[in-house]
Amino acid sequence: MRNQRSTGGNTALAQKKVLRRAKLGALLQSDPNILTNQEDFTFSHWKSCASLPISSRLYNSSPDESPSPYFMSPYTKSPWIKTSSVSPFDGDNNCLGNDLIGSLVREEGHIYSLAASGDFLYTGSDSKNVRVWKNLQEFSGFKSNSGLVKAIVVSGGKIFTGHQDGKIRVWKLPAPTRKVYKRIGNLPTTKDYLKSSINPKSYVEVRRKRNVPWIKHFDAVSAMSLDEDQGLLYSGSWDKTLKVWRLSDSKCLESVKAHDDAVNSVVAGSDGLVFTGSADGTVKVWRRDMVGNGTTHVLVQTLLKQENAVTALAASAKSGVVYGGTSDGLVNFWEREKHSLSHGGVLRGHKLAVLCLAAAGNLVMSGSADKSICVWRREQGADHVCVSVLTGHSGPVKCLAVDQDRDGDGNESDQLWTMYSGSLDKSVKVWRVSEHAPDLRQLQGRNE
């Protein structure tokens, strides 16, 4: 599969576990972007590996041919992809590059957010809990008073969690041998919010006959991203704004009216650029200018403008390529030029909405409402090939996190990554992915 290029309370660690299908109402709870097929779906894991539900039409990206149901809008029902003859195993029954390590299961809520930091994994759910896992075992956890956990960021001895109720909560990381996580504040701080509340000039109109202080989100915090070099945290919200926070003193430096609809994704890139994706169908590029002790963000480019919602963004630190997933199941990407970004092409690998993206090295991973994860590799010449289609979740894949695989030998020519996938089936799956796994066409050639 290649891209179509443009011209311009019990914890179980189990590898072979059949998960129950979540109810439709639970899948749709509190997130308008989740689209799912209502047909029955039953599965069991392959032998600790990724299964490959792939058909020959995955390789068809010609714009001149009639569209298949595979490429239709997720609002249109389409048949399940048939399993092909391509096997994920070699002759010795070993996995070819990408395999499932295990599953973290705790029946308490749908998984909406993930963050990996060293030996620790943090998972957020609609149970309002954040679970802490260490070396794939449950280690600790903490709970907020209210608000589904939609985003998690770890930085400088602190954990920042974004919630459905519009709040950003701040927690202190304990010493390595301790398990108690203490909440130490909010963004904005109580002091700053009270000061803003008594100043009439601090209010902005957000809806008809409703004014709120500009330093606080008044709707769900959908995404957060760090610029560690500048000590800044960016937050995007369904209130259509992008807010900029200084980590050293928890000050809100700026609030940008970024979009005409909910902001679904925010990514802090390199060279002072910030990318936002929205339900209004646009991907925007903002340039940060430091002004005194504050910031000013200026819109410099709109990368995408369409009817389908933009649901996820990711930026590759290695290549500078920006990826955008949309509700029609596509992943667009843009490449860096001297003073702007240009459209590089479209990755077609899902039949329902793309809900999350993650980039690492030469790889980009896309999770979808169709319950699968596509792993793409960027080749020389900016082409992308699909090296794996990972299945195993029984619900939409809502979030992804990637960390360098610490069990590898450190050889850059055989780079391995650990990928975590969170789903509305209430589980997190742990995968090992390789940058040098054979792509699906090579696998198909071996079986012909």
Residue-range domains of the chain with CATH: 4-446 (2.130.10.10)
Q: How far is CA 169 from CA 16, 118, 176, 222, 331, in A?
A: 36, 21, 21, 13, 31
The predicted structure's pLDDT at residue 226: 96
Q: Cα separation of 203 and 76, whole Å?
A: 42
Does a cis peptide bond (omega within 30 degrees of 0) precede residue 63?
Answer: no
- 233 neighbors 221 (Cβ within 8 angstroms): no
- 38 neighbors 370 (Cβ within 8 angstroms): no
Q: Cα separation of 227 and 200, whole Å?
A: 31
| The two three-digit tokens of residue 185, written as one number | 């504040």
Question: 265: closest CA among 297, 220, 214?
Answer: 220
Q: How far is CA 428 from CA 120, 266, 326, in A?
A: 14, 23, 23
| pLDDT of the chain, 448 residues: tens digit per residue | 555 554 444 444 433 333 333 443 333 343 434 443 333 322 233 333 333 333 323 333 333 333 333 233 332 322 222 222 233 333 333 345 678 888 998 878 899 999 999 889 999 998 888 999 998 899 999 988 777 999 999 998 999 999 999 999 999 998 877 889 999 999 999 999 999 999 988 988 887 778 889 999 999 999 999 999 999 999 999 999 999 999 999 999 999 999 999 999 999 998 889 999 999 999 999 999 888 778 899 999 999 999 999 999 999 988 889 999 999 999 999 998 888 899 999 999 999 999 999 999 999 999 999 999 999 999 887 789 999 999 999 999 999 999 987 665 555 566 899 999 999 999 999 999 988 877 666 555 554 4
The predicted structure's pLDDT at residue 7: 45
The predicted structure's pLDDT at residue 333: 96
The predicted structure's pLDDT at residue 33: 43
| The two three-digit tokens of residue 218, written as one number | 């008044």
pTM: 0.79
- Three-state SS across the chain? CECEECCCCCCEEECCCCCCCCCHHHHHCCCCCCCCCCCCCCCCCCCCECCCCCCHHHHCCCCCCCCCHHHCCCCCCCCCCCCCCCCCECCCCCECCCEEEEEEECCCCCEEEEEEECCEEEEEECCCEEEEEECCEEEEEEECCCCCEEEEEEECCEEEEEECCCCEEEEECCCCCCCCCEEEEEECCHHHHHHHHCCHHHEEEEECCEEEECCCCCCCEEEEEEECCCCEEEEEECCCEEEEEECCCCEEEEEEECCCCCEEEEEECCCCEEEEEECCCEEEEEEEEEECCEEEEEEEEEEEECCCCEEEEEECCCCCCEEEEECCCEEEEEEECCCCEEEEEEEECCCCCEEEEEEECCEEEEEECCCCEEEEEECHHHCEEEEEEECCCCCCEEEEEEEECCCCCCCHHHCEEEEEEEECCCEEEEEEEECCCCCHHHHHHHCC
Q: Cα separation of 333 and 129, whole Å?
A: 34
The predicted structure's pLDDT at residue 205: 84
The predicted structure's pLDDT at residue 293: 79
| Region at 435 (left for phi over 0; alpha for psi -120 to 50; beta for the rest) | alpha
The predicted structure's pLDDT at residue 290: 81
